[in-house]
Each structure stands twice: as C-alpha cells, then as structure tokens.
Structure 1
Amino acid sequence: MQPTADAASSAPSQKSLGHIRVLDLTRVLAGPWCAQNLADLGADVIKIERPGVGDDTRTWGPPYLKDAQGRDSSEAAYYLAANRGKRSVTVDIASAEGQAIVRALALQSDVVLENYKVGQLRKYGLDYESLKQIKPDLVYCSITGFGQDGPYAERPGYDFIVQGIGGFMSITGERDDLPGGGPQKAGVAICDLMTGMYASIAVLAALTHRDRTGEGQYIDMALLDVQVAMLANMGANFLASGTAPKRWGNAHPNIVPYQTFATADGHIIVAVGNDGQFRKFVEVGGRPELADDERFASNPMRVRHRDILVPLLAEMVREKSRQAWISELEAAGVPCGPINNLGEVFDDPQVKARGICVDLPHPVTGHVKLTASPMKLSVTPPQYDAAPPLLGQHTDEVLRDLLGYRQDQIAGLREQGIL
C-alpha cells in the first residue's frame, strides 16, 4: 500500500545522495542539468566557476531575476533553471594554484562532471587519467557534443546543431507541402536536457558499481549519441524499414485524427485512439454521419483519406469554444486537452496540486520561484535547500571547511585573481 501524501509529507525526510559530493566543472545546460538532478537528491554539489565571470548562462538574459526594488539582478533566468542546490566556488583553473585547489577538491569528491573540449583538461592535470592516479575510485563524467573519439570529436557541440545532425529536425515541424512546412527545432534545448538526464543515470550506475567493488570509472556522454538514441520509435521505424520518417507537424503518421485543431477561440489537441472514440468525437461535434462514411469508418481508412477528413473535422471544431470542446469531449471519454501558455500551465490545478513550483529564499532578491524536480520518492524526496548560488558565494566556506585554508591564504589568492 502506498503512503498518502499527508503521511509522506509528515515523515522525516532523508537524502538519497546525502553521502555523495560532486565536483561540477560544467557550464551552460547539459552538465548543470545533471548536477542539479544530483543536488535535488541530496548530493553536495560544488560548482567551479571562472572568477568574475562564472557560468556563461549567468548573463543569458533578459529576463533576469528582479531585486527587492524591482531592478534586474545579475542572475539570468536561464542560469536559475539549472543550478539550484549547489555551492559556487570561483577558481582560475588556468593557474597552478587553481589547479591544485581543484585537485584537492576532487580528492574530497565522489564524482567529477566536466564539459570542456576533448583533451582540454589534460593540460591542467584535471583529466580522468590524472585524477584517477590520486583517487582510483573516482567517477568521472565528460559531456561533449560528439564524444571523445570519432571524426567529429574536436567539434564544439551545440544543442541546435545536434538536433539537426541527429535527425530530430527531420521529423519535427509542419509537413513540407503545408504553409510553414520545414524543419523545426524543439522549443527547449531538448538534446542538452536529455543528455543531462542520461548523464545522471550513468553517474548513479557508476556509483552503485563503485559501492559494490571500490572501482571508479570514466563516463563518456555525447549529445549526438543521446539525440540519436532518443529518436526511439522513429529510429526503430527507419532501421526496420529503411525508409526515413518525414515531418507530420502536429498530426500523426499512423492515427487520424490525432492532432491539433483550431476552435472558435483557441486550439485543442484531439487524440482519437480507436474507432469508438472517433464516433463519440463526431457525435459531440454534431456530425455523426462521418463515423458511418465508409471512407472514415476505421482508422486505416481515415489515414488513407486524411486529406478529405481533416478539413471536415477542422470546420466542425471551429464551431465551438475551446472550453466547450474540452468539457464535452472529456464527458464523452474522448482524449483531448488544451494548448496552454506558461501562465496557464503554472495556474493549472493539477500542476499546483503536484507542487511543481517551489519558492526558495534568495540572498539578493528575497526569494526566487523555480520549477521543482518531477521525481516523487516516498522516503527520500528531492529537497530544495538552496537557491542557485551567487557567483563565488561559497568560495571561502568550501576552501576553509573542506581544504583547511586560513582566511589570510584565501585573501591572498583572491588578491592574485586566482579566486
């Protein structure tokens, strides 16, 4: 029997990864997304940033977080999305002293994450082979655009480019023969995000192996590998048939109607999964004769005659409001839904009930609203202990508490521009 929400919320919370420390040398999105997942699950994540500059995404705005007076702060919303729960330490890793600090922190860590160009950290003695010599049980994860080997290994990797190279854009976008047809990227950096998710799983698998055997290992994550893997059934369709899938926009290649329609005042999604649902759909729309038409009586026939049927359905749907359609179709058992903007998303009663928005204290702005982790664990749920850190917010704390630096040593390093 599953615990109730009240019981789960009143039980003492534990941290799944409270025994794990992660040294995060990543920036932008794929690596920070992985590190944020681990931080949400309780890991102590130390984010290493360049002094005075920090993660590139700190300046990827507007929008920026507003301070108490309503002015833009230095924290871009993009940065806030992927850096919750971490500690920020500023270190110049191009300096010998900075390299020594990072090596010392690696010795105190279970995991190192990095997304530098292939081979770039070797010259600093911060690559896996170098750190493995001083910490054999280290789990070390490298994230690049194209992996550590192969003809593209030296290329810089950007999500948008990889969406194109990896085939995603060939199946995303409106049909070429319709207005606005052509390749389209996703509305978010989906390849970066999925790489961060796959990297999180790989790190947890490597930690489990380490705990069983004492052996660390190297993880080579590539955006292109992830993009091809996440083609899922589309990739399998090609491998099975030898025929490249094409773009269908908001329609489905094998099911009709399974797409968006314009209503009198907005848009809805209708996902008819069988012939009975199709009949109910057209009955709600006042066109029951369409279900009796032999051209539309079965899904294979509807697919064959989609160019005739879909305009008839589009005309039918435009006769009612979005809410009227949703209410009537839900009552009839026909799968449907609205296409919400983000204001409507965060105001949705189901989203609110699931606690997908969290409000955390922030040292400059007082508080910051963030999207919560979707992981729901009954005993060790994600915990939101800290907002995304200010640049270098924890430098003194980490060097003092973990590495034993005196305050005058820290001040000296800061004067030299190393911190």
Structure 2
Amino acid sequence: MEISETSKRDGPLSHIRVLDFSQTLAGPFASTILSDLGAEIIKVEKPGFGDQTRHFAPFQEGESHYFLSINRNKKSIAIDVKSEAGKQVIFDLIKKCDVLLENFRPGVMDKLGFGSEVIEELNPGMIQCSISAFGKTGPYGERAGYDIMVQAMSGVMSLTGEPDSPMRCGLPIGDLVGGLYGAISILGAIVEKQKTGKGLRADISLLDNLVSLLGYYAGKYYITGKSDQPIGSHHPFIVPYGTYQAKDGFMVLAVYTEDFWKKFTLAVDKPEWLIDPRFANNQQRVKNRDLLIDLVQQILIEKEISYWTRVFEEQDIPHSPILNVEQILGHPQIMARELVKKVEHPAYGSFQVIDSPIKYTNMDRGNPTPPPVLGEHTEDVLKDLLGYSQDRIEKITNK
C-alpha cells in the first residue's frame, strides 16, 4: 500500500500500514514495535471510551500513564464499528492497509463482521495477526484469559519465586512476549508476501509463547521425568549465580565459567576454594549449592556494594547491583544508548518515553511521536486516506 508523505516515518517498515484493533497490552505492544520500525499504525478505538488502558490510574492531565507508555507513533480513530457507517469505514480501511492486528477473544472479529473470509475478499493477500490467551484451536480456544493465567498454566510461575512459594513475574511477561511474537509473526508474513503475494494468518497464543520459553527446563524434564521447583533468584545449573545481599543493598553475581570462578575466589580472598573438592567444578558446586551460596553470602554482606563493584570490575567478574526503575532510567549506560526520548503530547505536554531498543547504526529513525489523543486522527484518516467528503465525515463522527 502506498503511504502518504505526511504519514511516513523512517524505518524498514515505512511502506507498511497496519489496521490495529488491539487493546490493553499484548496487541498494542506488537503494533508499537512495528511503529518503531516505521510502520503507519491506525488504531481503531471506541468513541468516548477508547482503549481500556486510557482509564488505568495514575493520570496526568487526564491521560493514563499506561496508555502513554505503549502507544507511541500511532494514529487514533474513534469509530463505532457496530454501526453500519462504522463498518463501512473499516471495510474501506481494510482495502488500504497491509496488516490487520487484533487481540480479541477468538470469534469476536467474526461477530463484528470482520472475519478472515471477509478480509480476504476485500483485500486478498492482507496479513492478519490474532493474539489471544490460548489461540483459536484446542479445548481452551474460546476461553478468556489474562497474563497471570498463562503465567500460571505455562509452568513459568512454578519456576519463579522461592521454594514452595510460586510467584508471578514482576513484568506481565505473558502479554509482553505475546507482543514480541506477534510482531515477529507479522515481520515473517511481510517477507512471505514479498516472495509469494500470499497474506498469512498468524494465530498467536500467549500460553504457547510462554511454554516455548521453557527451553532447557522442558529438556531436563524430558530426560529426567521430573519438574523443577522454584529456587529464588539463583540458577538451577550454575553456582554462584544469583542474588546476594551486600552491606547496603542487593546485587547479583554470574560466575558462569571456571575462569570466572578462579577470578572470584581471588576477589573474595578464598584461594583455598580452588582446591576444595566440594567446589572443584561447577557440577560439584551445584551439588553443594546451599553450602556455597551461604559461604558467599557471609562474605558479601561484610562490604558495601560500591566496594564489591570496584573489586569485581578489577577482576572482570560479571556482577551488577539491583537497580530500581528510577535508578536504571537515569543510568549513564541508558543515557548513552539514547533509550529515553522526550515527546510533546497535545494534552499532557512534555514527557519521556522508552524508545525502541532496536537500533540500526546506519539509519537515524528520529524521535518517536507522542501517543494519540482519543480520535485525534479520525478526520485526517477519513479525509486523506479514504477520500471521504466533509459531510460524510461529520455524519460518521456525529459533529
């Protein structure tokens, strides 16, 4: 689809236009990734209400922190998709877009009148991506589901937390990975369309996504027939590798190789550990994990984090203090990477957003644009993209 000059953003997807029905997190995160790569995103929202996350506190100048955080670089149109006039708008937009993204429960798009067969009739070759909790098939296919549910079902929670105390990940990892896989599926479909002209339909399941991340935990189960239990922030197969308390806070160590182990014993002034058969290699250290973790903890708690940071940097031992959100957002490394960008919002004013972590060293994509006000681009899209008359636009928007 040809993108108008006023709509273009730099990036490898600057020739792609996405019709985005998604709400809350998984879908909007996927479309944000695409927008960061230059795609034009037309976000369809309910008039007078919009994306559910527009109503999540805290607010500033009436704008939700949640919505502002994950909807940069997008256009918002407020359309009643259940009305006949609204349906026609969507039909016309389908003809003008390359990708359709939604994260409704399976079957909702069909009930709205925008099922896959309708889409293909209007725009053969259109790429379709559906993100849902359990996917479109299987006994759970029509169930509603949320991040915490798929974390629980996938095995992820069973591996997270302290022994006998499974915990949800601090980040909504199910939704975020859903957004990542959704974006990846669309990128793959774009390449396929370039080769064959065929528009693929991606069926992305949040549960599938997390199960796919089990990796070596699944491998271990297939070999041993046993499921792992949570062990806190320590590693199941490497010791010492985890969280430790220093005198004034917490930090992590990642003594991943035998070379690092030798350096570590020197850094903590325990050369005798190198000849101790209990710690002779990683296999023995894992076998005696509780003892070694306790011994390391006794040493680290005697000094401040700044001391250990200096010592471990001198010895080239992988480590890090545990930073909070404020500390990492102001960290020199993040500043040097220019990951935090300032934008000007028409209602909120000046504020900062996290920009895309994808960087091309030979392409400057510029600063992100601010998340849209509800319906901010309705008239522009209807007039400039669809060629509607002003009278027709006013009837649709009830102006």
Q: Distance in 1 between matches of 2:192 and 2:280?
A: 55
Q: Which amino acid in the other structure matches residue 78 of structure 1? A: Y
* CA separation of 1:253 and 1:385: change in aligned 2, threshold 3 A: closer
**After superposition, what is the alpha-carbon deviation per residue over 1:248-296, rounded to whole angstroms, capped at 9, x for unaligned?**
1111111111111100001111111234433432332233333333222
TM-score scaled by length of structure 2: 0.94
Equivalence map 1:19-418=2 (5 Å): 19-62=15-58, 64=59, 72-176=60-164, 182-415=165-398
- Which range moved further: 239-248 or 113-122? 239-248
Q: Distance in 1 between matches of 2:272 and 2:220?
A: 35
Report the CA distance between 1:380 and its aligned residue.
Answer: 4.1
Contact 1:162–1:224 (8 Å) recurs in 2: yes
- Which range moved further: 232-241 or 86-95? 232-241
**After superposition, what is the alpha-carbon deviation per residue over 1:372-407, rounded to whole angstroms, capped at 9, x for unaligned?**
111011344544341110100101111111112222
Q: Which amino acid in the other structure matches residue 151 of structure 1? A: P
Unmatched 5+ stretches in structure 1:
1-12, 65-71, 177-181
Q: Which amino acid in the other structure matches residue 43 of structure 1? A: A
**Percent of paired sites with the same residue:** 38
Name the residue aligned to 1:6: none
Q: Which amino acid in the other structure matches residue 47 of structure 1? A: K
Q: Distance in 2 between matches of 1:368 and 1:323?
A: 32
Name the residue aligned to 1:10: none
Name the residue aligned to 1:9: none
Q: Distance in 2 between matches of 1:153 and 1:391?
A: 31
Report the CA distance between 1:229 and its aligned residue.
Answer: 0.7
SS, match of residue 313 in structure 1? helix
The count of residues paired between Structure 1 and Structure 2 equals 391
TM-score scaled by length of structure 1: 0.90
Report the CA distance between 1:224 and its aligned residue.
Answer: 0.8
Name the residue aligned to 2:4: none
SS, match of residue 361 in structure 1? strand
SS, match of residue 140 in structure 1? strand
Contact 2:355–2:368 (8 Å) recurs in 1: no
Unmatched 5+ stretches in structure 2:
1-8
Contact 1:125–1:131 (8 Å) recurs in 2: no
Contact 1:170–1:183 (8 Å) recurs in 2: yes
Contact 1:18–1:43 (8 Å) recurs in 2: yes
Q: Distance in 2 between matches of 1:291 and 1:18?
A: 56
Contact 1:40–1:383 (8 Å) recurs in 2: no
**After superposition, what is the alpha-carbon deviation per residue over 1:76-122, rounded to whole angstroms, capped at 9, x for unaligned?**
11112211100000011111111111111111000000111211121
* CA separation of 1:385 and 1:372: change in aligned 2, threshold 3 A: closer
Contact 2:63–2:348 (8 Å) recurs in 1: no
Contact 1:14–1:379 (8 Å) recurs in 2: no
Contact 1:89–1:391 (8 Å) recurs in 2: yes
Q: Distance in 2 between matches of 1:340 and 1:131?
A: 47
Contact 1:362–1:368 (8 Å) recurs in 2: yes
